[in-house]
Structure formats: C-alpha cells, structure tokens
Amino acid sequence: MAVNFRNLRNAGTFRRRKTSGPENPLPFKTQTRVKLSPDEIPVTGNLRMLTGLSAPLSRLCFFDTETTGLSGGAGSMIFQAGVGYFEGNGLVVDQFFISSPADEPAFLSALTEILKFRPAVVTYNGKSFDIPLLNTRLILNRMEELRLNVIDLLHVSRSVWKHHMPSFRLIDVEQRVLGIFRKNDLPGSMVPGVYRNYILGRDSGEIREVLRHNRQDIISLARLLSCLASSCKDEDDPHVLLALAGKHLQNKNADACINAASRCLCGPVPEKVRAETLWLASLALKRRGELARAAKVWARLSSRQAKIELAKYLEHTAGDYEAALRVVNRLLRADNMPPRIRHLLLHRRNRLRKKSCNFRT
C-alpha cells in the first residue's frame, strides 16, 4: 500500500483531524540482548574477500531501518532503526523510534554516535537503500554525512547461493538458509501505513509489530553472517569457490580467479556451477592473454556469450573465417535472441562472408 506522507514535519496537519498524536507513545530507545557469541563467526580470508570485512567484530554493527516510503528519496523518512553489535558473549540490539517528526534530529544524532564508533555496517540491501536514505536525512537536517564500510549481505548471499534459490528476499533466505520461519510477521509493505496510523493516534498495537519485525531483521543479519562465515571456512565448498572466482575476476586478479576455479572443479559439482566456473576461468585466461586456452573452454560451453567469444577469437586471432561463420550461423538459428544481439551477429556474419570470399580468391 503506497502512503503519501507529504511533509511529515507539518504534524499540525494531522493534529487538526480529531487527534493530538499517539495516545501511548513508544520509548525513544529500547534495548534487547540475544544469545549470539562473536565466536560463532570465524573470520577467514575467504569471508573477508567476499564481504569486504576489514574491521574486527568489535567495530562491526548490523543495521536496518523502517521508513515512511519504500522507494527512498527525499520524500521518505526513517522513523525507526535497529543497530546490533557484539558486547561480551552476546548480541545487543538497540532500537530507536521517532514518535514525532520533530524528534528526527535527536534520532539521527543517536544513530550517528553508534555508527561512527562502528563504521563497518552489515545490511541487507542497505548499500542501495538504507545508507543512502540515512545520508539524505542527515543532509536535510544539516548534519554531516557518514563514511561507512557497508557490507551488503544481499549481494554476498546471491554470489554464494544463487544456484540454491530463485528469490533473495530476506524472508526467503531466512527460511532456505537459516531455517527461520516467522510467525504472524508484519509484511514490509504495511509498515508505512502502520506508522501513519500511529502518528494519527489510530494505532491498535501494530506499531509494536514493526519493532518486532525490525529486531528479527537485525538478528537474522547476525545469523546470516555467521552462516556465511561457516561456509567460507570450508575450503572445498564449490559454491564459495565459485563466488570467490567471481570476486577475484571483478578485482582483476586473473591468477586468483583461475586458482579458485580450478579448486572448484576438482570434485563433483552441479552442472550449472561447472558451466559458470568454466566461463569465469575463460575470462581470466583472456585477461592473461592466453586466448588459445580460453577458446578451448568457449568451445566446450553451450552458452551464447561463450560462443560469441569463440567467434571473435576465430575471426580476429585464429583467422579461421569459415569456422567463425559456422559458429555465428548456429547462434542465429537459436530462438529468443534479443534484437540487439541478433543485429550484431548479422553484422558479424556479413563481415565474415566478405572476409571468407576474399580469402578464397
């Protein structure tokens, strides 16, 4: 349900309508302790590579927000935020809540104080939503933006478990990876409407469900990092090795990519994992200038992108125009070809035909 809050600072607009605000305002800050030791998160080199974690766990925090809109931008406001951090042998979850838009500066100051001390921030889709929105609200309140090392577990989860599940909503990852099944949980799409009812004095208890939802998000982030750490500890996990190969290629480290890919292919792996690993290894070989070895891999793969690379190699490096033309013709016979790719292949086919005729004469 889309909710148009317009200008939340003008709270008088709402007060003129039968209400003077929430009857039982929630406390500005609540704190919960959860049994989750930092010892359950073994920090290995693989975990650091996949997540970008560089700080010790004592400088780490888990962060999630609830907002008045789901699309972000200056028209949305963060009205509740949860911050989790390790203290002793447990996880402490601090939750901050705005009962009135006038409390936003104090709310942002409280968050800033914690996040400056723990600048390694673990989120789920926070790199593109929570953190940019937080900095937007800081700017609008004439406060300094935060410089944070954002560890987005959405992207890490996709890279490791992309062949396990079709959807990567946090609730899906909780069920498939963590074995957590929420009961009577408030859907995220309803949160803006629940808060609107709250500040209008029409809340019938749903606002506490928002806090419960947010607290579970924080706990799930910590458990998800622990699960990823355990997976990274297994040096032979093919899904982790595939994710590492992709990360090394992204960092332009061809040697490390080929090493991870080779280790991944040492044992039995699912066919999808094998095909993607070979593709990454071929790109690393291409980066190293070993085009002949890369072409052998492209010839083994059935994907369109591999065959296009093979056609390029046969045309520009091997000079085998007829073989390149055969590859292109096979590609053009495939169904569901995107128009742009088909146009490029047709252009390549025309060029190869001319080159092949000139070569014969």
CA pair distance 355, 360, nearest whole angstrom: 9
What is the per-residue pLDDT across 73-83, written as a single tens digit (0 to 9) for each?
667 899 999 99
Q: What is the pLDDT of residue 204?
A: 83
The answer, yes or no, to whether residue 70 has pLDDT greater than 90, is no
Q: What is the pLDDT of residue 13?
A: 42
Q: Where are the domains of the chain?
A: 12-233, 234-299, 302-361
What is the per-residue pLDDT across 127-174, written as a single tens digit (0 to 9) for each?
999 999 999 999 999 999 999 999 999 999 999 999 988 899 999 999
pTM higher than the cut 0.95? no
Mean pLDDT of 326-333: 95
Residue 332: burial class (beta carbons within 10 Å; 0-12, 13-18, 19+): middle
Tell which CATH classification among 3.30.413.10, 3.30.420.10, 3.20.20.70, 1.10.3080.10 matches the domain 12-233.
3.30.420.10
CA 231 to chain centre: 18
Distances (CA, A) of 291 to 282, 286, 330: 9, 5, 22
The answer, yes or no, to whether residue 46 has pLDDT greater than 80, is yes
How many other CB atoms sit within 10 Å of the CB of residue 188? Answer: 16
Which residue type occupies 222?
Answer: A
Distances (CA, A) of 204 to 201, 210, 216: 9, 12, 21
Q: What is the pLDDT of residue 26?
A: 84
CA pair distance 120, 149, nearest whole angstrom: 5
Burial 147-186 (b: 16+ CB within 10 A, else e): ebbbbbbbbbbebbbbeeeeebebbebbebbeebeeeeeb
Nearest to 95 by CA among 201, 210, 204: 210
What is the per-residue pLDDT across 277-290, written as a single tens digit (0 to 9) for each?
999 999 999 999 99
CA pair distance 58, 280, nearest whole angstrom: 35
The answer, yes or no, to whether residue 268 has pLDDT greater than 70, is yes
At residue 9 the predicted structure's pLDDT band, cuts being 50, 70 and 90, is: very low
